[in-house]
């Protein structure tokens, strides 16, 4: 594998220097995808400059126009250009949206109009990408071991954790696939398997719901693909076993997570008149029935007692913020309530030093100390939704903000359902929807729809939705990329991410999408020796 990398960086006989430079820039791009937004941007300009320096424009245009899959992808850019005709905010449409869509030209057009990338170098690009993903997880793991983090999002050191999780899932399957295609020493193949096992382990540490759901979708695809190659009776047995095992595991996890949320423990009315062990009265907020594990959070509070007791045990002042950035008094209230303890000196004395440190980190429920991170994340998400249903206030939680914005985006879409609001008016559209529903949401940092399908609908309407996803469909169909096993994995990842994010409207995820569409759907199409039908079982890991 090392020799293949070394050979790919040698200038070939009769190779034009501009083609070699393009390959080097693509190497920087794939290394940067998991590690540097800045360098991803820089590579776009370098690709365009190198394309211009190489000249031969007529030949390049002929090569591009003959490449139907590439034409479909580049056409997506011009759909957004047309959307400027009825937008009200040209500055945002041109300066932000179209600028973000430039990789359709700087990446797809440039590479597809240039000479074919040799097979050896395509392998090298895959290897460099996989190693870069591995590097990002190792740096993140150092942070994890140090404990110097307050949120698992911080375990993605260079890019958004959702984007890293998408790349991890792809690399889990891509790296062994490449190692098998190379047909070299089995040692490298087994090494790639070990890397995949590590990445799987780290994916659960990262606890990105998009990544976990993508993995589940990919797992279902791989299972069905495997099963349908077996005799009918074995198919039935395998599907039945997996379905039963999955159902039991899901039932267990869901039951463990939802049971505390369904509890409603009411205090004895007589106990409300009781005093603390120190003889102080309790405060009870009858207007707020926030609960943790069924216990009312804002009942049985003795702030003065709790403040003194807490300050004697913690380096964080009672009236300050925890390490997660929240007012620590409320973190203490919620944690003690989750244990069924009163918020006074005696209640605090019933928790140990490990629990005090957990509260300092921002842990609000004692169950989170023993649960795997995935269960913690699921419980937090369901708790947020439960609170949103109770108060209709989305503040403080990213998931509930997304629900609020999804509702507002849908209302905005219904205002202009045919052609949408135009390329530059997405933010104005969401503001309109939120105002129409009298939303309490004031923090507009999450104003983007965070759903690719809603994003396209509100921007381009039903007509634009059909055109954009139609072009993507025609690209997939005409390119034949689905014959490559990793590309199927990639499509599942992209589909899942579109449900909770807008990957085509974010720099890293758009370049991630375009690069792998480009390589599997365009570059590998010209390397027939890589096609599965040319190599027996080459689509297997």
Position 395 in a domain: no
Domain co-membership, 213 together with 328: no
Helices and strands, number each (H, E), in the chain: 24, 2
Domain final residue pick, 369, 391, 425? 369
Domain co-membership, 197 together with 285: no
Does the pTM of the predicted model rise above 0.75?
A: yes
- Rounded to an integer, what distance in angstroms lies between the CA atom of residue 73 and that of residue 297? 53
Domain co-membership, 225 together with 273: no
Name, in order, each residue with C-beta under 8 angstroms of 292's C-beta and a sequence gap of 6 or more: 260, 334, 335, 337, 338, 364, 365
Please answer whether residues 263 and 293 qualify as being in contact, where contact means their C-beta atoms are separated by less than 8 angstroms: yes
Domain residue limits at 339: 269-369
Domain co-membership, 225 together with 342: no
Domain final residue pick, 310, 342, 369? 369
Domain co-membership, 295 together with 348: yes
List pLDDT tens digits, range 232-282: 777 778 778 878 888 888 888 889 999 999 999 999 998 998 999 999 999
Position 427 in a domain: no
Domain co-membership, 135 together with 21: yes
Domain co-membership, 484 together with 342: no
Domain co-membership, 42 together with 137: yes
Position 425 in a domain: no
Long-range contacts of 494-500 (CB under 8 A, 24+ apart): 494/166, 495/217, 496/210, 496/213, 496/214, 496/217, 497/162, 497/166, 497/210, 497/214, 497/452, 498/451, 498/452, 498/453, 499/213, 499/451, 499/452, 499/453, 500/162, 500/209, 500/210, 500/402, 500/450, 500/451
Domain co-membership, 146 together with 38: yes
List pLDDT tens digits, range 59-110: 999 999 999 999 999 999 999 999 999 999 999 999 999 999 999 998 999 9
| DSSP structure class, residue 343 | B
Query: How far separated are the first and last CA of the chain, in Å rounded?
Result: 17
Domain final residue pick, 354, 369, 384? 369
Q: How many domains does the chain have?
A: 2
Token pair listed for 189: 């193949």
Position 198 in a domain: yes
pLDDT higher than threshold 70 for residue 395:
yes
Position 376 in a domain: no
Position 34 in a domain: yes
- Rounded to an integer, what distance in angstroms lies between the CA atom of residue 367 and that of residue 370? 6
| DSSP structure class, residue 157 | S
Domain co-membership, 48 together with 149: yes
Domain co-membership, 224 together with 281: no
- Rounded to an integer, what distance in angstroms lies between the CA atom of residue 424 and that of residue 102? 15
Name, in order, each residue with C-beta under 8 angstroms of 62's C-beta and a sequence gap of 6 or more: none
Name, in order, each residue with C-beta under 8 angstroms of 88's C-beta and a sequence gap of 6 or more: 421, 422, 424, 425, 428
Domain co-membership, 58 together with 168: yes
List pLDDT tens digits, range 414-472: 999 999 999 999 999 999 999 999 888 876 555 688 899 999 999 999 999 999 999 99
pLDDT higher than threshold 50 for residue 112:
yes
Q: At what angle do helices 17-32 and 507-518 cross, to 10 degrees?
A: 130
Q: At what angle do helices 398-415 and 452-479 cross, to 10 degrees?
A: 80
List pLDDT tens digits, range 38-65: 999 999 999 999 999 988 899 999 999 9
Please answer whether residues 457 and 422 qualify as being in contact, where contact means their C-beta atoms are separated by less than 8 angstroms: no
Give the Å distances, CA to CA, from 431 to 199, 228, 456, 508.
40, 48, 16, 26
What does 442-463 look like in DSSP terms, one character per residue? --GGG-S-S-HHHHHHHHHHHH
Position 495 in a domain: yes
pLDDT: which is higher, 174 or 226: 174
Q: How buried is residue 287: exposed, middle or buried, by Cβ count under 10 Å (0-12/13-18/19+)?
A: exposed
């Amino acid at each position: 594998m090392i020799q293949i990398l070394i050979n790919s960086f040698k200038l070939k006989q009769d190779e034009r220097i501009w083609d070699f430079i393009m390959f080097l820039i693509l190497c920087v791009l794939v290394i940067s995808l998991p590690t540097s937004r800045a360098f991803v941007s820089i590579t776009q300009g370098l690709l365009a400059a190198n394309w211009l320096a190489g000249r031969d424009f007529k030949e390049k245009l002929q090569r591009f126009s003959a490449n139907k899959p590439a034409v479909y992808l580049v056409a997506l850019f011009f759909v957004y250009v047309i959307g400027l005709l009825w937008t009200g905010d040209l500055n945002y449409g041109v300066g932000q949206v179209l600028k973000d869509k430039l990789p359709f030209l700087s990446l797809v057009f440039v590479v597809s109009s240039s000479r074919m990338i040799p097979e050896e170098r395509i392998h090298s690009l895959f290897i460099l990408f996989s190693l870069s993903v591995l590097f990002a997880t190792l740096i993140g793991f150092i942070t994890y071991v140090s404990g110097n983090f307050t949120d698992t999002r911080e375990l993605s050191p260079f890019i958004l954790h959702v984007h890293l999780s998408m790349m991890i899932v792809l690399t889990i399957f891509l790296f062994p696939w490449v190692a098998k295609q190379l047909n070299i020493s089995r040692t490298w193949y087994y090494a790639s398997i070990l890397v995949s096992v590590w990445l799987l382990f780290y994916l659960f540490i990262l606890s990105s719901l998009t990544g976990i759901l993508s993995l589940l979708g990919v797992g279902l695809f791989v299972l069905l693909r495997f099963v349908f190659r077996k005799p009918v009776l074995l198919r039935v047995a395998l599907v039945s076993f997996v379905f039963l095992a999955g159902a039991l595991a899901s039932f267990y996890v869901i039951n463990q997570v939802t049971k505390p949320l369904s509890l409603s423990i009411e205090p004895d009315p007589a106990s409300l008149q009781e005093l603390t062990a120190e003889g102080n009265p309790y405060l009870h907020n009858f207007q707020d029935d926030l609960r943790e594990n069924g216990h009312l959070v804002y009942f049985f509070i003795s702030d003065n007692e709790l403040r003194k007791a807490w300050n004697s045990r913690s380096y964080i002042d009672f009236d300050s913020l925890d390490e997660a950035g929240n007012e620590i008094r409320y973190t203490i209230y919620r944690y003690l309530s989750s244990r069924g303890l009163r918020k006074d000196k005696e209640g605090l004395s019933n928790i140990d030093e490990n629990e005090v440190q957990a509260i300092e980190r921002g842990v609000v429920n004692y169950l989170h100390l023993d649960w795997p991170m995935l269960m913690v994340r699921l419980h937090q998400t369901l708790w947020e939704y439960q609170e949103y249903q109770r108060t209709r206030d989305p503040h403080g939680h990213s998931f509930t903000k997304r629900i609020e914005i999804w509702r507002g985006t849908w209302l905005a879409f219904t205002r202009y359902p045919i052609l949408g609001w135009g390329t530059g008016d997405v933010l104005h559209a969401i503001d309109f929807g939120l105002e129409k529903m009298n939303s309490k949401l004031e923090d507009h940092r999450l104003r983007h729809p965070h759903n690719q399908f809603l994003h396209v609908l509100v921007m381009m309407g039903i007509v634009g939705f059909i055109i954009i996803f139609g072009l993507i469909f025609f690209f997939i169909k005409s390119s034949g990329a689905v014959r490559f096993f990793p590309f199927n994995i990639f499509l599942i990842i992209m589909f899942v991410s579109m449900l909770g994010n807008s990957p085509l409207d974010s720099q890293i995820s758009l370049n991630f999408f375009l690069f792998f569409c480009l390589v599997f759907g365009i570059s590998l199409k010209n390397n027939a020796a890589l096609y599965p039908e040319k190599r027996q079982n080459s689509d297997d890991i």
